Amino acid sequence: MAKRRTGRNVHGWVALDKPTGMSSAKALNDVQRLLDAKKAGHAGTLDPMASGVLPLAFGEATKTVSFMMGSGKSYRFTVKWGESTDSCDAEGAVTATSDVRPDRAAIEAALPAFIGEIDQVPPQFSAIKVDGERAYKKARKGETVEMKARKVRVDDLRLAERPDADTAVFEADCGKGVYVRSLARDIAAALGAEGHVTVLRRTRVGPFAAEQCHTLDELSDLAHKARLTEVLSPVQTSLDDIPAVAVTEGDAFSLKQGREIVLLPRIATELREKASPRTIDGKDASRWALAHVDGTAVAIGDARAGRMTPVRVFNLT
């Protein structure tokens, strides 16, 4: 998360279509500078070689980044058969070769094994910390990094195109923490082939689809016209899958002061019925709800036993 001592109090989300060849941190810094925003963060890092949806949070929206990161994501990616690399993409060194070129029938038969909750080993070249250091930094120094398997969820995986014998284009819908490069590596291994990702594009993150995103050139043009804030989505955009409850100005004041409020019995019952399993930053968020006044976010609160206790408070006017 990036902070500045100077700048404006800008609150909300910007959906960026990140270009290839740029890090997520650089993309965030560029847009933060265009907005002259004090505080900013992004939801879900995209590799420099990847393009597509990168949600950027500004001001009070940074308090909801965890919700956006936990949202479902969609990808479209191209796998080239014949070579595996140490980074599982085109930027890595070749580690193995093969003449195997799986046909459509074989590919489609292999995909169901990768749908649902699966064990996935992240690539060595990833931002995961190993012994206190980013894995990719260790890998770049030539160290062998032992990555542990993690449980991840793939909701759907399909073969979209097969342009030629050497390449296949896939589309995937998945949850938090899925590495597409690892998915491609494991698909190739299941087919008795070698393969790596050559093109990777994220097409959706939660409520943001690629069609809604803005390029850096578009944002720069809007900034020059003093219209950049027009593309900001509300702070609560990342909270569209948790219940919302309207509160009075008096209750809003109490929540902002860190005090719990009493819910009307009808509201308490509705929130209890809408509770669903959810973990945010290691905390049980199954009963969290958004309190608002006339559509302006006031706080995220934990609603239990007829009361709401503030968990995160928003300072919006």
- List active site positions: 47
Whole-angstrom CA distances from 18 to 14, 58, 125, 286 are: 11, 17, 20, 32
C-alpha torsion angle, residues 214, 215, 220, 221 (rounded to 10): -70
**266 Cβ contact partners less than 8 Å away, ≥ 6 residues apart:** none
Provide the CB-side half-sphere exposure for 264 (13 A, CA): 8
Provide the CB-side half-sphere exposure for 36 (13 A, CA): 8
C-alpha torsion angle, residues 118, 121, 123, 126 (rounded to 10): 90
54 token code pair: 């990168």
**146 Cβ contact partners less than 8 Å away, ≥ 6 residues apart:** 130
